[in-house]
């Protein structure tokens, strides 16, 4: 709305995973008579405060460049085929909804067993040919 943001301070913030980032805080000169004040800010008595992280913006820009490169576009197109179908198969066909164990190393072992079961089922179906009829039926439906 054409209002000026004034620099307040620069802080170093530590996230829950011990990542340090520097943020710069800016405050609007005045929010009085602004038609968007109720949507823009949380408190009625203070002006809008905006935080900005120069390092974070640089990382976002680098990520955007990598995602929009030829290699990034190719890798994104492969993601649904290679990775997410296995997770969906484990969740839906193996009916896995939540982990039974707690602690990171136990969950790692539990998911390893699920992945082994998934891979063994794929090998069995490939060798026995039990999926051939299923895929033939799907191809007939599409045609």
The mean predicted confidence, pLDDT, of the chain is: 85
Q: What is the pLDDT of residue 125?
A: 84
Residue 79 has pLDDT above 90, yes or no: no
Q: pLDDT: is 44 or 60 the higher one?
A: 60
How many Cβ atoms from other residues are within 10 Å of residue 31's Cβ? 20
Instruction: Give me the percent of the chain exceeding a pLDDT of 90.
Output: 28
Residue 10 has pLDDT above 90, yes or no: yes
Contact 118, 89 (CB under 8 A): yes
Assigned token pair, 76: 């994104």
Nearest to 115 by CA among 78, 93, 86: 86
Q: What is the pLDDT of residue 80?
A: 67
Q: What is the pLDDT of residue 64?
A: 95
Q: pLDDT: is 49 or 14 the higher one?
A: 14
Alpha helix stretches (DSSP H) within 35-129: 37-40, 54-68, 70-79, 85-92, 104-128
The phi and psi torsions of 125 (rounded to 5 degrees) equal: -65, -35
> pTM above the 0.85 mark?
no
Q: Cα–Cα distance between 42 and 48 in angstroms, integer? A: 8
How many Cβ atoms from other residues are within 10 Å of residue 28's Cβ? 19
Q: How far is CA 16 from the centre of its chain?
A: 17
Model pLDDT for residues 84-111, shown as the tens digit of each residue:
778 888 888 788 888 888 999 999 999 9
Residue 143 has pLDDT above 80, yes or no: no
Assigned token pair, 65: 């460049």
Rg of the Cα atoms in the chain: 26
Q: Cα–Cα distance between 122 and 120 in angstroms, integer? A: 5
Assigned token pair, 10: 């620069």
């Amino acid at each position: 709305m054409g209002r000026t943001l004034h620099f307040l301070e620069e802080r170093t913030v530590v996230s829950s995973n011990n990542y340090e980032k520097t943020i710069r805080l800016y405050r609007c000169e005045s929010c009085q008579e602004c038609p968007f004040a109720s949507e823009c800010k949380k408190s009625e008595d203070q002006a809008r405060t905006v935080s900005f992280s120069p390092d974070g913006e640089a990382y976002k820009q680098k990520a955007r460049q990598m995602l929009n490169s030829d290699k990034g576009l190719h890798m994104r197109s492969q993601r649904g085929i290679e990775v997410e179908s296995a997770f969906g198969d484990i969740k839906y066909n193996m009916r896995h909804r939540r982990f039974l164990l707690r602690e990171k190393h136990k969950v790692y072992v539990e998911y390893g067993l699920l992945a082994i079961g998934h891979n063994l089922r794929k090998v069995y179906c490939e060798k026995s040919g039990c999926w051939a009829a299923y895929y033939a039926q799907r191809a007939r439906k599409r045609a």
